[in-house]
Homo-oligomer: A and B are copies of this chain.
């Protein structure tokens, strides 16, 4: 009992001594000053970066005439808040340090979790970096018809972490940007409409080509979605039952399928009118009289 009471007393006396020691006190005041400085510097850094971003954006707006103002402002906001959070995080870790070496060591001790977290966060970082490049390099925009990572559709939303693409079937694909490597933009320029017509081996190829040429000219004059008139390329294949003739045209984006449908109808009717056979599958049959 005596020993215990002595111990307890000793503990309290030590605790009071610890906080009252002049060198400890001086240490604490220094820490307070440093923390104040860190907070001030952090705030100044945020303001500085904000104004740099503002200037950069203004310059961008002036230099590019056809710029998408809404996207620019979105990116400005994004970059500002990103910078803000990073600076706060750095300031926080710097301040935490002043509560003694224990905290640092503690993080070192907790290194296993940290390692795991680092690897986990890695995919988030990759999403954001890739998202930044897609926005910055204007690889595609909302409303474009694109193909990324094996799915294609109309871009509905572009965010820093994910891109949302709506399929023609109505499905909404939500793709983390880090999964996007190659982007295929199907709304950037003239699209090709391609139709292959098969005619029978018994028909004259030149006649068929002429019929298709006339149908192409008529179609071109009627359809203003066709930018470069349907061109009859020639014999693209000698198939099992017929000779294939290829016709291509250039159309405005997203209209290639409609143009192809018109071309198919027009060419089928033209060949019918000219009496040129579109062949069914043909087989030669040899009757073997005596069975083995």
Contacts and interface: CB of A to CB of B under 8 A. Distances in A.
A292 interface: yes
Interface stretch (A51-59, A69-77, A255-263): A255-263
Interface string A77-115: 000000000000110011011000011111101111111
A41 B49 CA distance: 25
A176 to B, nearest CB: 6
A88 B6 CA distance: 32
Contacts of A102: 34, 38, 94, 97
Nearest to A267: B238
Interface residues of A, number: 119
Nearest to A123: B126
Interface of A: 7, 10-11, 14-15, 18, 25-26, 29-30, 32-34, 38, 89-90, 93-94, 96-97, 102-107, 109-126, 128-130, 133, 137, 139, 147, 149, 151, 161-162, 166-176, 179, 181-186, 188-192, 194, 197-198, 201-202, 205, 233-238, 240-241, 243, 246, 250, 253, 256-258, 261-262, 264-265, 268-269, 277-288, 291-292
